[in-house]
């Protein structure tokens, strides 16, 4: 018995899906921004050599790296209102959880990049009489950042896909929309196929870009 594909259902609902895509992109961009800033702070705390800074940073990073994203999202969403009294919308809870998650992985990328800059560079800069902060800003970070671009780009692509997990708390991104439409129209095959195609179309070119960044960096080294 052949199945009747109803692509018109998919096409009719595409606009709603794409609206979700808009939210997906917004969440990705915002979470990435948080990750870039907080990740650097965490990396610097761990590299500072002061236990009072390094230890909390280490614990935060390891917590977010060893627990599933789903757990982090639900934890932030349900725990924040009860403990800190801060009731955030699903969007902002999701953003906080995603942002911290990305920050944890970013901090590892920063750490690897910074420590890959030769110690002699730091010594040479210190010998000129630079303060540690000047050494970091003018000598170490500029060199580290170049090496960090490919893994950061890969993180962006992963982050884009991870926004789908926010569907669990009902954030109006693309995955949520897909679930709603699929149950409304009773046509999970067409809708879930369509959303997979949309994710693929957006993600695949970015993945190719990331692969090229990695290849270019290898050639340069």
**Cβ proximity to another protein, 89 vs 183, nearer residue:** 183
Shortest reach from residue 15's CB to another protein, in Å? 19
Q: Give the angle 31-37-39 at the CA atoms, nearest 5°.
A: 85
**Cβ proximity to another protein, 193 vs 217, nearer residue:** 193
Shortest reach from residue 125's CB to another protein, in Å? 8
Shortest reach from residue 53's CB to another protein, in Å? 20
**Cβ proximity to another protein, 68 vs 89, nearer residue:** 68
Shortest reach from residue 52's CB to another protein, in Å? 19
**Cβ proximity to another protein, 64 vs 110, nearer residue:** 64
**Cβ proximity to another protein, 168 vs 213, nearer residue:** 168
Shortest reach from residue 117's CB to another protein, in Å? 10
76 and 93 Cβ atoms separated by less than 8 Å? yes
H helix runs in the chain, sequence order: 7-47, 51-66, 69-83, 90-116, 119-127, 132-135, 141-162, 174-185, 188-220
The alpha carbon torsion through 193, 194, 200, 201 (nearest 10 deg) reads 150
**Cβ proximity to another protein, 149 vs 161, nearer residue:** 161
Distance separating alpha carbons of residues 199 and 5, to the nearest angstrom: 21
Q: What is the DSSP string of 134-196?
A: HHIIIIIHHHHHHHHHHHHHHHHHHHHHHGGGGGGGT-SSHHHHHHHHHHHHT-HHHHHHHHH
Would you tell me which residues interact with another protein (CB under 8 A)?
A: 1, 3, 62-63, 65-72, 74-75, 78-79, 82-83, 118, 120-121, 123-131, 134, 138-139, 142-143, 146, 161-165, 167-168, 175, 178-179, 182, 188-189, 192-193, 195-196, 199-200, 203-204, 207
Shortest reach from residue 189's CB to another protein, in Å? 4
In Å, what is the CA distance from 131 to each residue of 33, 136, 139? 28, 9, 11
């Amino acid at each position: 018995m052949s199945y009747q594909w109803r692509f018109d259902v998919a096409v009719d609902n595409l606009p709603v899906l794409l609206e979700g895509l808009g939210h997906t992109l917004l969440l990705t961009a915002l979470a990435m921004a948080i990750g870039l800033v907080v990740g650097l702070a965490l990396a610097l705390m761990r590299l500072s050599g002061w236990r009072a800074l390094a230890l909390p940073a280490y614990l935060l990073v390891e917590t977010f790296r060893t627990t599933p994203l789903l757990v982090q999202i639900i934890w932030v969403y349900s725990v924040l209102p009860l403990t800190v009294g801060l009731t955030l919308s699903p969007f902002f809870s999701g953003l906080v959880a995603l942002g911290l998650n990305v920050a944890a992985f970013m901090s590892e990328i920063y750490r690897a990049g910074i420590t890959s800059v030769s110690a002699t560079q730091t010594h040479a800069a210190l010998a000129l009489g630079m303060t540690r902060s000047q050494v970091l800003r003018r000598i170490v970070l500029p060199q580290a950042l170049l090496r960090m671009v490919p893994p950061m780009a890969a993180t962006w692509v992963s982050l884009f896909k991870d926004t789908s997990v926010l569907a669990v708390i009902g954030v109006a991104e693309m995955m949520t929309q897909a679930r709603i439409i699929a149950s409304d129209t009773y046509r999970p095959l067409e809708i879930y196929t369509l959303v997979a195609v949309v994710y693929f179309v957006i993600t695949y070119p970015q993945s190719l870009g990331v692969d090229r960044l990695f290849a270019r960096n290898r050639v340069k080294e």
